Amino acid sequence: MDEVFASAGSLELVYPACEKGLGAIIRTADSAGLIAGIRLEPAELHPDDRGYFLEVMRSGLGLVAGFPAASTQISVALSYPGAIKAFHYHLHQHDCWTPAAGLFQVALVDLRRGSPTFGSRNTLYAGALRPQRILIPPGVGHGYKVIGPEPAVLVYTTDRFYNPADEGRIPYDHPGINYDWETQRR
């Protein structure tokens, strides 16, 4: 499984050979096992008796500080309970995810040959109960499962306009990634 399946410049992507599991459970920006280049920051949530206001991003600040104003795109995805959207990767684009409603089980896998964390997987639980922003660099496979009884909303900011040629897809059940999407009965 050491064959390069996608590349751009010096970035070469290779399928890992992982045992079945979730990888490291990531709770904070300094969690052990965090994939190289993944960055987290809390999202400001302002609740009151009417609901809440979630600050998604401020252009030029935080995780999106280096995103160019001329090509930054903000998009929204709504997914239904139990939906799995995984895996995809980018060769050039950075994503900054802000789960805004519901609860996501976010799955990440380092596909970058030569990365110090190649083959590592991370699992994050993010959404209204744990508001945070997740910066995902090129070459890191990413996806999610909506957990809980309600639809979930993901707001994501990218440093480039959508380009289908920059995006690759990998089946959610790829045997090399071997991510365990089942509910963990602990």
Neighbouring CB atoms inside 10 A of 127's CB total 25
Residue 105 β-bridge partners = 125, 145
Instruction: Summarize pLDDT for 66-119 with one digit per residue, the tens.
Output: 999 999 999 999 999 999 999 999 999 999 999 999 999 999 999 999 999 999
- Bridge-based pairing of strands 121-127 and 24-25 is parallel
pTM, two decimals, is 0.95
Q: What mean pLDDT is reported for the chain?
A: 95
Q: Is the pLDDT of residue 26 over 60?
A: yes
* pLDDT tens digits along 129-150: 899 999 999 999 999 999 999 9
Average pLDDT rounded to a whole number, residues 168-174: 97
Cα separation, 69 vs 55, whole angstroms = 18
Range of the domain at 147: 4-169
Rg (CA), the chain: 16
Helices (H), 43-178: none
User: Is the residue at 83 inside a domain?
Assistant: yes
Q: How many domains does the chain have?
A: 1
Asked if residue 49 is part of any domain, the answer here is yes
Asked if residue 149 lies in contact with residue 158, where contact means CB atoms within 8 angstroms, the answer is: no
The verdict on residue 43 lying in a domain is: yes
User: Over 80: is that where the pLDDT of 185 sits?
Assistant: no
For residue 56, give the CATH number of its domain: 2.60.120.10
Residue 1 pLDDT exceeds 60 = no
pLDDT, residue 122, reads 98
- How confident is residue 121, by pLDDT bands cut at 50, 70 and 90? very high
Would residue 128 be called left, alpha or beta, if left means φ above 0 and alpha means ψ between -120 and 50 degrees? alpha
